[in-house]
């Protein structure tokens, strides 16, 4: 009787471990690939042309790049879960394990690299200006003196204007969508942020032919893929996937499909960049 009780206890323990392993294998987040699991990826939900939620669908350049990389990591479309990654929460989402990767106009900076690692870059943007298509008097930040410029509260774009062009009438709102609406309506002369974000707005149906990106960027923003610090294996796999994406023409295809209608052309001296230099 004593031996039988021991045997039953051992059997139960083995079964419990097996069940635990099955559960662990089926819940997302393994960096080793997609067989049977899922991967959660952080994106922006409110950036047209880059990362945008439309109903139950997700679209944009960052979204297309994310799907391509996830597929190269072994995940099928139904194994990919998207989560909103607001700028201020990106490091926390990675560190807490809520997401495995972030594709969200995520500029590579030394301060951020203290908390997370990056693959990439996969795009190099630059701060630029969006105006009505008919305007010819604003061709750079130096032309903004005496004009009303819109940007977002707390953004690096707004800070740069404040620091370097204090004579500009900067007005800050809570979303870039409000800036685009104001420029189209004529209540603002221009808006500023990264050029590819501006191109995403200019490519929207309601703004096609009405808004344009000046095309004279005055900073460099290297977009990388955020991932957990120290995960060099995943970092290498993502860099390999990004390199393949650029070489097989998918990078250009994704860019054209999402912001091509705006007439935007990225800086060809910088783009496409070489992944693995983050």
Q: In Å, how far are 13, 129, 140 from 219, measured between CA atoms?
A: 59, 12, 12
| pLDDT above 60 for 241 | yes
Q: Which domains does the chain show, CATH number per domain? A: 39-124+223-262 (3.40.190.10), 127-213 (3.40.190.10)
Q: Is residue 76 within 8 Å of 137, Cβ to Cβ?
A: no
Q: What is the pTM of this model?
A: 0.79
Residues 147-174 as b or e (16 or more Cβ within 10 Å = b): bbbbbbeebbbbebbeeebeebebebbe
Task: State pLDDT tens for residues 138-197.
Answer: 999 999 999 999 998 767 788 889 899 999 999 998 888 899 999 999 999 999 999 999
Share of the chain above pLDDT 90, in %: 70
Measured distance CA(267)–CA(150) in Å, rounded: 24
Please compute the mean of the pLDDT values over residues 47-66 and round it to a whole number.
95
């Amino acid at each position: 009787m004593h031996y039988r009780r021991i045997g039953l206890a051992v059997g139960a323990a083995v079964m419990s471990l097996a069940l635990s392993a099955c559960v662990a294998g089926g819940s997302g987040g393994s960096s080793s690939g997609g067989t049977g699991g899922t991967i959660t990826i952080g994106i922006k939900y409110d950036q047209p042309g880059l990362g945008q939620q439309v109903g139950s669908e997700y679209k944009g350049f960052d979204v297309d790049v994310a799907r391509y990389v996830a597929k190269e990591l072994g995940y099928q479309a139904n194994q990919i879960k998207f989560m909103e990654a607001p700028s201020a929460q990106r490091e926390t989402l990675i560190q807490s394990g809520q997401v495995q990767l972030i594709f969200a106009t995520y500029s590579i900076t030394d301060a951020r690299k203290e908390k997370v690692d990056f693959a990439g870059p996969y795009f190099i943007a630059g701060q630029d200006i969006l105006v009505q298509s008919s305007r010819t008097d604003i061709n750079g930040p130096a032309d903004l003196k005496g004009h009303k410029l819109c940007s977002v509260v707390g953004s690096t774009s707004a800070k740069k204007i404040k620091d370097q062009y204090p004579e500009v009438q900067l007005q800050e709102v809570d979303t870039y969508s409000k800036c685009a609406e104001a420029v189209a309506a004529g209540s603002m002369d221009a808006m500023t942020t990264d050029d590819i974000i501006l191109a995403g707005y200019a490519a929207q149906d309601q703004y096609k032919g009405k808004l344009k990106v000046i095309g004279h960027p005055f900073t460099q923003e290297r977009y990388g893929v955020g991932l957990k610090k120290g995960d060099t294996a995943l970092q290498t796999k993502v860099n390999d996937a990004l390199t393949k994406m650029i070489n097989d023409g998918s990078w250009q295809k994704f860019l054209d499909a999402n912001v091509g209608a705006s007439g935007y052309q990225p800086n060809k001296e910088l783009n496409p960049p070489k992944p693995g230099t983050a």
